[in-house]
């Protein structure tokens, strides 16, 4: 594949998403498939919540174009060859996770049923690779991010692969808290994985990455602040799942040169956000699944940034991590160790500065005390981390 094919796939996915999303928005409004104001919801008018349909349509249209180009026009690629039959499992899993997300958007599935749907979707990918290709697409061994050598997983390869896919899927879903945040971060991650896949000559993964990037860019037209439609779980779960499959196809097959840490660093912000949320809730004896307003974007909003500034800051943070992940691949062992230590220090500073481990419910309490004091004519000292505004979140977790 040449660069024009990738540009064509990105443009096709973007164009289809641009066309389909307004239709989806109209259907959602017509049949009441909207996210209504009230409770923790902060928007003032009903917003359609099934925008993932537009993203899914864009990705599938681009893959269809690639498939047709390979079959009828002699395009170089990896979607139509016999050696790529395992892609049926990947596409089957993508269809399954999209269906699970859409059903949740429409019927609000119970958490247990939703998790079983995610597990089933991931199992399709794992089973297809195991039975057809003896595990070539699963994580059977990982590279040492600090040096050479491989760590064989043996019988643990299946659960590790399942956990990897489920983790990717949910960290993107959990960061979907501001207009344009999940789609923008996914586009950055997809572009990074596209570069890695092209360098490793994995054309199937590259085509899938290009399709995802295009769909995300097209959807941002309607999802960036102020959003006229939300992607919902049908979009967020689909994006995370697809990113996981791209990394398995295009990165894990090359672990001798690309460490396991690389794709994880590429989505480092969502992983950091999810990890800090779990630690925060454990430290303060709150249920892990309990939603709060302590995520990275909430803390940035509490620091005085508006919604667009917050999203752009996280975009820049994601780009910096992606560049660092790309550069670390070529560094010798000691440099890698120093780089990981530096990232650890920076991460710790950000966690401290943003107050990510502070109890989120304390923030709301402090803000209430502050408002009460101000109404009484006092000028109390502002809390260390202000509570985020109540009118800016899309669908925070």
The residue behind tokens 């979009």 is 235
- Residue 390: pLDDT band with limits 50, 70, 90: very low
42 by Cβ neighbours in 10 Å (0-12 / 13-18 / 19+) ranks as middle
Of the listed ranges 130-134, 235-239, 386-390, the one predicted with least confidence: 130-134
Looking at residue 108, what is its pLDDT? Answer: 94
56-to-20, 62, 118, 186, 205 alpha-carbon distances in Å: 10, 10, 16, 14, 17
What percentage of residues in the chain have a pLDDT greater than 90?
Answer: 45
pLDDT at 316 over 90: yes
pLDDT at 136 over 70: no
pLDDT at 357 over 90: no
Q: How far apart are CA 95 and CA 67, in angstroms?
A: 17
Stretch (H or E) spanning 286: none
Find the distance separating the first CA and the last CA of the chain, reported in whole Å: 40
- What's the pLDDT tens digit per position in 21-68? 999 999 999 999 998 876 545 466 889 999 999 999 999 999 999 999
Looking at residue 134, what is its pLDDT? Answer: 42
Q: How far apart are CA 222 and CA 24, in angstroms?
A: 11
101-to-23, 97, 192, 233 alpha-carbon distances in Å: 19, 6, 25, 5
Looking at residue 81, what is its pLDDT? Answer: 63
153-to-11, 118, 244, 290 alpha-carbon distances in Å: 39, 23, 18, 33
- What's the pLDDT tens digit per position in 278-298? 889 888 888 887 778 888 998
Looking at residue 374, what is its pLDDT? Answer: 39
The residue behind tokens 């089957």 is 92
7-to-11, 14, 91, 210, 383 alpha-carbon distances in Å: 6, 10, 21, 8, 49
Q: What is the mean pLDDT of residues 124-153?
A: 60
Looking at residue 378, what is its pLDDT? Answer: 42
Residue 306 has a CB neighbour count (10 Å cut-off) of 13
- Residue 365: pLDDT band with limits 50, 70, 90: very low
Both tokens of 202, joined, read 């994995």
Q: Which of 53, 15, 389 is nearest to 229 (CA)?
A: 53
Both tokens of 311, joined, read 């999203």
Of the listed ranges 126-130, 158-162, 312-316, the one predicted with least confidence: 126-130
Looking at residue 56, what is its pLDDT? Answer: 98
Looking at residue 167, what is its pLDDT? Answer: 94
- Residue 373: pLDDT band with limits 50, 70, 90: very low
Q: Is 160 helix (H, G, I), strand (E, B) or coil?
A: helix
Q: How far apart are CA 4 and CA 391, in angstroms?
A: 42
Q: What is the mean pLDDT of residues 332-337?
A: 76
- Residue 149: pLDDT band with limits 50, 70, 90: low
Q: Is 150 helix (H, G, I), strand (E, B) or coil?
A: strand
What does the mean pLDDT of the chain come to?
Answer: 82
pLDDT at 143 over 70: no
- What's the pLDDT tens digit per position in 197-226? 888 888 889 999 999 999 999 999 999 999
């Amino acid at each position: 594949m040449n660069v024009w094919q990738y540009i064509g796939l990105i443009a096709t996915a973007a164009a289809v998403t641009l066309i389909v999303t307004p239709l989806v928005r109209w259907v959602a409004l017509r049949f009441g498939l909207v996210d209504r104001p009230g409770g923790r919801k902060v928007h003032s008018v009903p917003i359609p919540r099934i925008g993932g349909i537009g993203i899914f349509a864009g990705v599938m249209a681009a893959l269809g174009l690639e498939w047709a180009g390979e079959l009828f026009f002699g395009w170089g690629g990896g979607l139509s060859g016999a050696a790529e039959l395992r892609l049926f499992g990947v596409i089957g899993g993508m269809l399954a996770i999209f269906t699970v997300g859409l059903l949740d958007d429409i019927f609000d599935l119970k958490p247990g049923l939703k998790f079983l749907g995610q597990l089933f979707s991931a199992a399709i990918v794992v089973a297809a690779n195991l039975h057809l290709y003896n595990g070539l697409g699963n994580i059977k061994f990982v590279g040492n991010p600090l040096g050479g050598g491989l760590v064989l997983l043996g019988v643990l390869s299946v659960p590790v692969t399942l956990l990897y896919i489920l983790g990717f899927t949910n960290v993107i879903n959990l960061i979907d808290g501001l207009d344009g945040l999940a789609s923008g971060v996914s586009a950055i991650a997809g572009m990074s994985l596209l570069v890695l896949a092209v360098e490793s000559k994995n054309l199937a993964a590259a085509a899938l990455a290009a399709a995802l990037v295009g769909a995300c860019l097209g959807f941002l037209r309607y999802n960036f602040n102020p959003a006229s439609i939300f992607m919902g779980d049908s979009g967020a779960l689909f994006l995370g799942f697809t990113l996981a499959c791209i990394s398995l196809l295009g990165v894990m097959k090359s672990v001798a040169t690309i460490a396991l840490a690389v794709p994880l660093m590429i989505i480092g912000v969502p992983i950091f956000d999810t990890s800090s949320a779990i630690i925060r809730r454990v430290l303060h004896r709150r249920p892990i699944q309990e939603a709060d307003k302590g995520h990275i974007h909430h803390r940035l909003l509490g620091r005085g940034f508006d919604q667009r500034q917050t999203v752009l800051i996280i975009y820049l943070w994601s780009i910096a991590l992606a560049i660092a992940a790309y550069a670390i691949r070529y560094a010798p062992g000691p440099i890698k160790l120093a780089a990981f230590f530096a990232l650890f220090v920076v991460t710790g500073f950000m966690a401290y500065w943003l107050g990510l481990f502070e109890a989120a419910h304390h923030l709301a309490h402090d803000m209430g005390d502050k408002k009460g004091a101000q109404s009484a004519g006092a000028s109390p000292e502002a809390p260390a981390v202000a509570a985020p505004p109540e009118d800016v979140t899309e669908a925070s977790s």
